[in-house]
Amino acid sequence: MSDRRAATDADSGDKVPRTERGRRTQRAILDAAAAEFGERGFHDASISGITRRAGVALGSFYTWFDSKDAVFRALVADMSNRVRDHVAPAIGAAPDQIAAERAGLLGFLEFARAHKEIYRIIDESEFVDPDSFRRHYATTADRIAARLRRAADRGEVIADVGEVHAWAIMGMNVFLGLRYGIWSAEEDPAAIADTIAAMLAKGLARHD
């Protein structure tokens, strides 16, 4: 079986842990893979480096992942899901859509500062596994578009909000995370989120 086929099978649920011990082991491997790929990059990273960081035997790795490609693919999906899960509660608790977008950006800045490896891993996925790279951004944009449309139905944002707006918000957040989460962590993330919320609410046109 090829690495890509193995990765696809793993992603489709063939290797979903059914016990708490299995879930802990898989989680440890994914966390170790994030550190290994984040520090060394895909090509210099190794399975032995991942198992050493995770404190598990080589056999335990192959219980859950068939190859380095497979664990990398699973890691990209895992990191995407972790960002979603980190920001979702604050977005859901926001009183309106502008506040929700502010909360989403703030949560992402906090996540990026705590998990700086995410940018290297996602960026490398464009070349290691382009499908994972595209899926990461497409699913993120789809989530933003869906919540913008719900907000439009509630009368909170313009009626013709759509995919372009979603990709614009996502792109803005990605580069704000790079600038204020990875390159520098000195600025107040709440102030950054406030600035963007005001821009979304009022636009950039001068209002006299």
- Which CATH superfamily hosts domain 3-68? Homeodomain-like (1.10.10.60)
Residue 10's pLDDT is: 41
SS3 162: coil
| Residue 68 burial class via C-beta count within 10 angstroms: exposed 0-12, middle 13-18, buried 19 and up | buried
Residue 14's pLDDT is: 53
Asked whether the predicted pLDDT for residue 4 surpasses 50, the reply is: no
Sign, CA dihedral 133-135-140-142, equals positive
Residue 13's pLDDT is: 41
Mean pLDDT of the chain: 93
The helix (H) or strand (E) run that includes residue 177 is: helix 163-177
Rounded average pLDDT over 23-46: 97
Asked whether the predicted pLDDT for residue 9 surpasses 50, the reply is: no
In this structure, CATH architecture of domain 71-202: Orthogonal Bundle (1.10)
Domain boundaries, the chain: 3-68, 71-202
| R_g of the chain, CA atoms, integer Å | 19
pLDDT in tens, 87-140: 999 999 999 999 999 999 999 999 999 999 999 999 999 999 999 999 999 999
Residue 206's pLDDT is: 82
DSSP letter at 2 equals -
Rounded average pLDDT over 42-61: 97
In the block, residue with structure tokens 């992942």:
65
pLDDT in tens, 159-171: 999 999 999 999 9
Residue 29's pLDDT is: 98
pLDDT in tens, 136-153: 999 999 999 999 999 999
Q: What per-residue string of b and e applies to 88-103 under the rule 16 or more CB within 10 Å gives b?
A: eebbeebeebbbbbbb
